[in-house]
Structure 1
Amino acid sequence: MRHKEIAENIIRLKNEDLKLRDKLIKSGKLWNGYNEEMAKLHNKNAKELDDIIDDIGFPTIDKVGKEANEAAWLIIQHSIGQPSFMKKCVKLLKKAVDENQANPINLAYLTDRVAVFEDSPQLYGTQFDWDEYGALSPNPYDDEIKVNQRRKSIGLNTLEEQTQIMRNRAKTENEEPPQDFYKRKREMDEWRKSVGWIK
């Protein structure tokens, strides 16, 4: 019974995240660096979810249902200021996927996100950013043929198709490339150092 309450709580945290994101998109405040209000909410949600994981283990489908399991993944995916939590969750999510209790696509996204923050190549090409030419492109990945094979194996489209989708979404959400690519890269590296992604 308690797991039903926990599931509802996880879904509530996800909804708070999406509501704030929507508000920031509409006010044009989401894309200029890591918004302070968003960072605060992401850290709070990560802490609450970490407490839940300490209590019941990873919120797998059999424990909390599919919706709350997906919501937990979104909270983890957005907890970018908490490297140790994200890395812990990669292992827990992998175990859940191996046991058919979580979505392998979510594991691909989380694995790639951690790789990007640590300056490692992506395996699935799920993470995108603006390149130096002002185009939204996949972050570095190991090998396009292998990436597309891995994507296909879990039911994802090709990297080319996804690139087009991401560029169209950026237009829809009025996301624009940074005015100074190198300045933004320096700021991003400083932030990654400050939270512990890189040394």
Structure 2
Amino acid sequence: MSAARPAQPQIALNLLDLKRLHQEVRAHSDLHADEASDAALRKVEDAATEALRLIIAVHGWPGHSLVGEDGANAAWWIAHHSSDRAFQQHALSLLEEAVTAGEATRRHLAFLTDRCRVMADRPQLYGTQFSYQQADLRPFEVEAPDRLDARRAEMGLEPFDAFEEFVRSLAPPPVPMEVPTEGSEQ
């Protein structure tokens, strides 16, 4: 991937602004804890999805030569976090083509592939998606786990154990709420 000036720097800036806004809203919301946080996040995700949909309609997938590496990363981020599952599937097929053409990274393809598979209630291939289950962070089901690290290596990903350690360092388990017992002070 080159550091050449992107063909559409304004589109890159728009994508980066949408990603930044999403990250800000996400950082200040209590995910799935209340309706207001969910609604605010959904509003930002929907606007970003619509903007990316329009960019794709005019230019195709915003790859490295169109929007630079940072812009392409922002496009992937928006697709990855979209709540529109049909759009995610469409973005996945475009991203596959972009990777083949050298316009996107295999890493992004691995993450979006897993996200689409998990959302379709299918086992993931690369072990990139996690969820809290009974206050423990766990990966969603993985297809053929004995081949997981080989598939990850093909996509330029680190071994799963190292990735899982990294994910856990970023997302410590939620603090369990204490339930008062009879006779305890509240």
Query: Which residue number corresponds to residue 118 of structure 1?
Result: 120
Q: Is the 8 A contact 2:106 2:156 kept in 1?
A: no
Q: CA RMSD in A?
A: 2.0
Query: Which residue number corresponds to residue 143 of structure 1?
Result: 144
CA distance in 1, matches of 2:176, 2:51: 33
Unmatched segments (≥5 aa) in structure 1: 180-199
Query: Which residue number corresponds to residue 105 of structure 1?
Result: 107
Q: Out of 109, 120, 127, which is 2:129 matched to?
A: 127
Q: Is the 8 A contact 1:122 1:139 kept in 2?
A: yes
- Calculate percent identity across the aligned residue pairs: 31
- 1:178: how far off? 8.4
- Following TM superposition, the consecutive aligned residue runs of length 4 or more in structure 1 with deviations greater than 4 angstroms are none
**Secondary structure in 1 matching 2:131:** strand
CA distance in 1, matches of 2:119, 2:66: 30
Select the structure of larger CA radius of gyration.
2
Structure 1, 93-102 or 149-158: larger mean CA deviation = 149-158
Unmatched segments (≥5 aa) in structure 2: 1-5, 178-186
- 1:145: how far off? 2.3
* Counterpart check, 1:41 vs 2:44: yes
Query: Which residue number corresponds to residue 174 of structure 2?
Result: 176
Query: Which residue number corresponds to residue 24 of structure 2?
Result: 19
- 1:154: how far off? 2.2
**Secondary structure in 2 matching 1:84:** helix
- 1:86: how far off? 0.4
CA distance in 2, matches of 1:52, 1:71: 12
Read off the aligned partner of 1:129 and give its amino acid letter.
S
Query: Which residue number corresponds to residue 54 of structure 1?
Result: 57
> TM-score, normalised on structure 2?
0.84
- 1:8: how far off? 1.2
Q: Is the 8 A contact 2:89 2:116 kept in 1?
A: yes
**Secondary structure in 1 matching 2:128:** coil
- Cα deviation code 1:53-112 (max 9, x no counterpart): 101111010111111000000011110x20111000000000000111101000000000
Q: Do the aligned partners of residues 135 and 9 (structure 1) sit closer, same or farther apart at CA in structure 2, a change above 3 Å counting?
A: same
Read off the aligned partner of 1:53 and give its amino acid letter.
I
- 1:17: how far off? 0.8
* Counterpart check, 1:8 vs 2:10: no
**Secondary structure in 2 matching 1:35:** helix
- 1:30: how far off? 2.5
Q: Out of 60, 67, 70, which is 1:67 matched to?
A: 70
> TM-score, normalised on structure 1?
0.79
Considering fraction of residues, name the structure with more helix. 1
CA distance in 2, matches of 1:2, 1:111: 27
> What count of residue pairs does the alignment treat as equivalent?
170
